A and B are shown apart, each in its own frame.
Chain A
Amino acid sequence: MADELMLEIVTPEKMAFSGNVEDVTIPGTEGEFGVLRGHEAFLTSVDIGQLVFTKNNKKTHYAVNTGYAEVTANKVTVLIETAERSDYIDKNRARRAKENAEARLEKIAKDSDEFEKARAALMRAIVRLNVAEK
């Protein structure tokens, strides 16, 4: 118990996860970072990526979208706009989304606003696919 960490994953739709975990890895904007109990309190933004936590020696993967993470010594709160657990991801849909995004990226100019949007969509699709395969 002593080295457990309280993790809360909050999305606008619901509390995606709430419970004690052994460790958690979060895709921060400044790079991925791992948190164990007793971590220095800090606040950072979260990017599109993969969130992994270990509970009872079992890893659980989530595909997450932008948000932020608040870390205190015994509690981590992750506020993100979407969070999908690996076993809920529809692989075929993710693959299609990836193909669509790739096709769109081909067509548009690099400096347009659309480009950034399409790039983010592609990122999300890739992350979702990776997570789904875990």
Chain B
Amino acid sequence: MANNYPIVQQTRRTFFLRTLAIAGILSLAQAGNIQAGTLQGKIIYHGPLPDKEEIVVKKDSETCGKTREVEPIILAQNKGVQDVIVSVEMEGQDSPAKDSGQPKTIVNKGCRFLTRVGTATVKQTLTIQNLDPILHNTHVRTSTRAFINVVLLPEAMGVKKALRKPGPMTVKCNKHPFMKGFIHVFSHPYHTVTDSTGHFMILNLPEGTHTLSFWHETLGTLQQTVTLPQKDGTILTIEFPAP
């Protein structure tokens, strides 16, 4: 019986090592799935560009500048469109999986909203800050009602409020009407906004066929079906038609 003891130990050790190995394989497989579930794309536009609007700033121009240029479409040299909200259509998913990594903070800085166009997930907290030396009010509205309309003192660290319902919201400063922004709240984490070159990436998307929605404040809405996993290095290219 005395000799059996080391054998038992060895068996336990082997079992432990095998368990570790299986867990490792599983996690690798999962990592593989995550890789396969990554959706990469680019939004482009070749149509005519609307004229830029130049607004004369009548008050607080020492902070806001004397004029403000508003670009209806911000286009990169490679024809990529900035600030397109990209999301996956997912009906009936009310429980968010986890944070998608997009910013949920609206910062008033230089009389601009940073981030001007953003996405968020239900149950996350929206923080509104003012880093300017002047007063701002941040007026966030859903399609039917005020989500919050609050005045922020200069360099105020901010107000926080939980996002409860999915849907698009507009962001305005009534004191500086040229300040406008958008935030779209989703009930799932599969959403993002295109960067300055028009590129986007959504991580951890389940395999299968999905309908993607693309929304731009001037160009409108597009939809496209995509099947995951994509081949390695595939970048989906979506072109907005001219309005």
Chains A and B come from one and the same complex: no
